[in-house]
Amino acid sequence: MRHEYYDRDDLLAEPYPEAWEAYLRNNVAHYRLLSEEERARLRNDARVLVAEKNWEGCGGLRLTDEIKVTIAAQASLLLLGMTHDYFHRVLSILVYPSSFIIPGGEWMDDFGIGQPAGGQAVYRGPVIVAWDAVLKEGREPSWGHNLVIHEFAHQLDFLDGSVNGTPLLASDEQADRWHDVMTAAYTKLQRKLRRGRRTFLGPHASKNEGEFFAVASERFFRRPGRLRRQHPKVYEVLREYYGVEPVKWFAGKQGAA
């Protein structure tokens, strides 16, 4: 964390480190798809996240700038089109080298043993991620999965004080539209899975409304063309909320298929 005299304007006025630019191009495939204006905003947002969050290496992992920049940039994809506060409630980001054990609660198996996970978002707490998954998923934008997007989408969900798959929205009209679209899609997904049918969003999205929003956000940023084709109303409410049009990023590429 920065000291009290830290000033964001001073930080953003500093020359951007060449090594960080290389990390973005090598590890965050979305970066190459963005417009110059979007790249500049992502660089600035990621720089603030690197500076202002408490970063902790866990499980023997030695934190580097590459790790911080790669994670911060993927999280900043969610912020590109919205007015935001840099995930101000997320004070810490914990990074493990690979999957880690989450003790207690829903992660316990029948024998009382904690199950391995690649990521976790804690309400009014940290985001925890596995570096190997972050790196692999960041380098391939057409995969539907992305731990960083998933866990930081949970943090957006938490902002209204409820873990219900509904982030803070701009108006009652938008909230009503969100509720109608997401509830219908969530219910339809559960019905299909009960019938044994394969689905684009997958079984994890049917766990609860919060997981549905997080998984849908992954698909929105990672496989936008397919999401728009299979769930057009879900795509539209996410487009309105996030304020970006990722289908345009992937035009002519596999991710839009």
State the pLDDT at residue 94: 96
CA gap 150, 134 in Å, rounded: 11
Tokens of 124: 């009014």
- In DSSP notation, 227-248 reads HHHH-HHHHHHHHHHH---HHH
Query: In this predicted model, what pLDDT tens digit does every residue of 162-185 receive, in sequence order?
Result: 889 999 999 999 999 999 999 999
**Percent of the residues in the chain that have a pLDDT greater than 70, as a whole number:** 91
Q: Which domains does the chain have, with CATH numbers?
A: 1-141 (1.10.472.150), 160-257 (3.40.390.10)
Residue 105's pLDDT is: 47
The pLDDT assigned to 140 comes to 86
Written as six digits, the tokens of 28 are 């965050």
How many Å separate Cα 155 from the centre of its chain? 9
Q: What angle do CA 35, 40, 42 make, to 5 degrees?
A: 95
Tens-place pLDDT, residues 193-225: 999 999 999 999 999 999 999 999 999 999 999
Short-list 47, 114, 39, 110, CA closest to 77 = 39
CA distances from 199 to 188, 207, 233 (A): 10, 14, 16
